[in-house]
Amino acid sequence: MPVRLYLASTSPARLALLRAAGIEPLLISPGVDEDEAVAHEEATLGRPLTAVETVTLLARAKAEAVIGAQVDGADIDGFILGGDSAFEIEGAVYGKPHDPLVATDRWRQMARVGRGTLHSGHHLIDHRGGRPHAGHSAAAEAHLTFADDLTDSEIAHYIASGEPLEVAGAFTIDGLASAFITEIEGTPSAVVGLSIPVLRKLLRDHFGIEWPELWNAVQGGLSGASAGS
């Protein structure tokens, strides 16, 4: 029997990535207030969180939020994965913009600076047998270069599409923004919101699970497409 993976996320991007990698996860909405979690941690530390600290904190919070949950009346029996993404540019760390004016400001900054880093956090909890055991975190990053000739009209049309409002960094690499991103350095899947190589390494190095043990999707039905992070 394949090892089951429970995804503590409602992100269609992470779901698509896992399906493309041969894994059909069971989905659980974590219901974490991300802004509140970050604010609480920063108040505790007395300083702003770094990008890596932010995505790692939120990935762990999401995974831990579903400990002990049931899916279709059954206890969790497998691994819980929580994930989070944030975009860093000029030393500032950004999550989802939500508001069109905020997204516009970020895109104008990206057009001016031309380069930024997308951080992706992961937290994996061993929940085999219906109860939590060890958990481990890891982060990945990818550096992006944006087109140096972006116009205000292009930015306005992109913001009006609604696509950038609920994704980290206010962009996706496989949606409408693909024409505005000229280079990616690092793991491509990390930009989408989940580093498949990092997940594989977490499973193998900390839990002794080989990657093919998670393959449970019908190979003929796999999709190579992914959604924005």
Active site residues: 84
Tell me 227's DSSP state: -
Q: Provide the 3-class DSSP secondary structure of residue 197.
A: helix
What phi and psi values does residue 92 have, to the nearest 5 degrees?
A: -95, 145
Query: Do 96 and 165 form a contact (C-beta atoms < 8 A)?
Result: yes
CA distance linking residue 115 with residue 218, whole number of Å: 38
Residue with tokens 């974590």: 30
Run of H or E residues at 199: helix 196-207
Task: Locate the DSSP E strands across the chain.
Answer: 5-7, 26-27, 70-71, 74-75, 78-89, 92-94, 115-127, 135-146, 181-186
Q: Provide the 3-class DSSP secondary structure of residue 86.
A: strand
Q: In the numeric block, which tokens belong to residue 190?
A: 């990390």
The number of residues making up the chain comes to: 229
CA distance linking residue 211 with residue 193, whole number of Å: 19
